[in-house]
Amino acid sequence: MVLNVNIVNAPVPLPIPSPPATKSRIQIDWDINDTKMPTVSEFDDFNDWANGHCRLIYTALNDDARKHASGWAMRNTNNHNVNILKKSCLGVLLCSAKCKLPNGASVHLRPAICDKARRKQQGKQCPNRNCTGRLEIQSCRGHCGYPVTHFWRKDGNGIYFQAKGTHDHPKPEAKGSTEARRLLAGGRRVRSLAVMLARDAALSDKLSSLKTNKRQAKTQLNQQETKRKRTEVMPINQQDLSGLYQNNNLNSQQSNYIATPATANQWNNNTETYYNQDGFTCYNSTNNLYGYEMLHSPLSSTSTSSASYYQEILPQSQQMQPTQQQQQQPTPTHYEPMNSTTNYQTTGMTLYESCDDTSSLTSSSGYSSEDYSYFNNYVNSTADVTAAGTQSATQSGDNFFTTSSEIFSVFESTINNSADAANMDLLYSEATAYQQPQQAYISPSYQQEHHQSGDFYYSNTGVDNVWNIQMDSSTLYHHQQQQQQQHHPTSTNVYC
């Protein structure tokens, strides 16, 4: 499918950001490497699926934050800095045959963090019983060709989280799912992957839900406590609550800072910052517009935070397209290491990624061998930078867009009861959530319009900000282009 939509005069309403899952986080200009970390009076809710350049500040009482948890498969990376824990993304395990279910859903397993275990994963037969493919890793190259990195830093009562890069691959399955399957099935190829994964996903979802409820309760308590103590918050108590970090003296003097829209800044001083009605700050600039918008996974019960994400908009020429990649993409036999200058041209990297810290991107030292060897289906050294070439190499379209409306039909042959069917929904709606990055910015009128046309369903239950979405992927693309073009019809810059 080639998109060639005339969007100049398209009567598309201005995208209106959907309300954040929680009330807007304060926007503070800080960096993980700052000498002084800002002191805040409120903390972010934990976000398992932080994506895009973002910074979050968690309370040191948050267990997930203390564990440096993430939905993404993040491995520890030695940055020789005992104060800052750095992790890099391992990507996702996909089927080499790209076995697709009728609804377009794909296998998206979680890479093992342990190198040895990950090597064992690769090359294994696809767990889909009807598929002869092999599992292979799609490396994360969401940070200008390098894996997305997460940084964690404990300071005072806060745990500071900063992410760099936007994942260019589907979400792996939830961590709990992998663990549950390992325990239940011993990693063997189960007779019914569908039911197995679904049950795991259901278990994970249940755990996640419970965890979320616990978090919410904690958050409410914390917020109540915060409100009560608001006048006495600064300076914060600097006792080390967790002892996670060996050295807390680096920032022995924290800056007292309560951010308000009047005082908040974005990282890039050359950009414009706007606040919507909810105080949700989005990155928006007339000069730096590349990237897709940060996704709040509407169907993920754990994606509730809404802090300081950039809103980065794809120009028309860099739209991803949903269907043609698999059919057209050759299978290169090698992977060519790239540098920061040529990477997006030669490999179709995430063109729209904002790499503000280019100094971190200069390394050309090798990936692990497995990363190379299992990346070949997604790298084409001759890929052009046309819309088709871009999407094919960067977003692996079929992995990014599935049609959730067909979820129940996917495993009909293996679904024996309604509970399994519901579990299917849990599993694949999770993947679909990531794969539809624009949905949070579809205006109400737009929703209504396409609801009537029968190809788009979008609703918010109003309870815990749970979004229910079903849509036709072609429609999604069409409107992504319209919206983005309306926002920035002449944008051509790439900063990476």
Partner DNA sequence: AGGTGCGGGTGGT
Partner DNA sequence: ACCACCCGCACCT
Nearer to DNA, 226 or 376 (CB): 376
Reported residue count of the chain is 496
Q: Which is nearer to DNA, 25 or 66 (CB)?
A: 66
Q: Tell me how far, at minimum, the Cβ of 467 lies from DNA, in Å.
A: 27
Where on the chain is the footprint of DNA (CB under 7 A)? 67-69, 74, 76-80, 82, 85-88, 110, 112-118, 120, 143, 146-147, 149, 175, 178-179, 182, 187, 244-246, 339, 357, 359-369, 371
Spatial contact of 29 and 221, defined as CB atoms under 8 Å apart: no
Is the Cβ of residue 362 or residue 490 nearer to DNA in the bound state?
A: 362
Q: Is the dihedral of CA 201, 202, 207, 211 positive or negative?
A: positive
Are the C-beta atoms of 10 and 486 separated by less than 8 Å?
Answer: yes
Q: How far is the CB of 273 from DNA (least distance, A)?
A: 25
Residue placing its CB nearer to DNA in the complex, 340 or 395? 340
Reduced to 3 states (helix: H, G, I; strand: E, B; else coil), residue 88 is strand
25 vs 175 by CB, closer to DNA: 175
The enclosing H or E element of 59 equals: strand 54-59
| Beta pairing, strands 38-39 & 255-256 | parallel
In contact, 68 and 47? CB cutoff 8 Å: no
Q: Which is nearer to DNA, 17 or 145 (CB)?
A: 145
Angle of the 444-453 helix axis to the 473-487 helix axis, nearest 10: 150
Under 8 Å CB-to-CB from 169, ≥6 apart: which residues?
Answer: 91, 92, 138, 139, 140, 142, 396, 399
Q: Shortest Cβ distance from residue 441 to DNA (Å)?
A: 29
> Quick check: 344 and 494 in contact, CB under 8 A?
yes
Question: Shortest gap between Cβ of 117 and DNA (angstroms)?
Answer: 4
Nearest-approach distance from CB 45 to DNA, in angstroms: 19
Q: Which is nearer to DNA, 80 or 228 (CB)?
A: 80
Q: Name the token pair of 65.
A: 């934050």
Question: What is the residue type of 445?
Answer: S
Tell the smallest beta-carbon distance from residue 165 to DNA (Å). 9
- Provide the minimum distance between the beta carbon of 160 and DNA in the complex, in angstroms, as a whole number: 14
The first and second tokens of residue 121, run together, are: 């994963």
3-state secondary structure of 150: strand
Cα Rg of the chain (Å, integer): 22
CB of 88 to DNA, least distance (A): 5
**Nearer to DNA (CB atom), residue 209 or residue 339:** 339
